[in-house]
Amino acid sequence: MMIRLSLDRYLDSHGITRYELAKRTDIRFQVVDKYYKNKVARYDSYLLEKFCDALGCGIADLIEYKPDSENSEK
């Protein structure tokens, strides 16, 4: 199974920059950038909640889950 952040796609499709998200959430740009680039090993629920609040979206808009069967097809 694979869990992947899709923050990059969400921001890009809504025309929101990482800098803008950092400003809206008071989270350092470097932290937002790691989430944007999916370079986070452990997801901080507090940060994810702040992202959702700032973007007016649900957690399912920012995280995707793919079962093993879908991963093996690639």
pTM of the prediction?
0.84
Domains of the chain in start order, with CATH, are 2-72 (1.10.260.40)
* pLDDT tens readout for residues 36-57: 999 998 999 999 999 999 999 9
Q: How confident is the model at residue 72 (pLDDT cuts 50, 70, 90)?
A: low
C-alpha span between 10 and 31 (Å, rounded): 17
Max distance between CA atoms of the chain, in angstroms, equals 40
C-alpha span between 3 and 45 (Å, rounded): 14
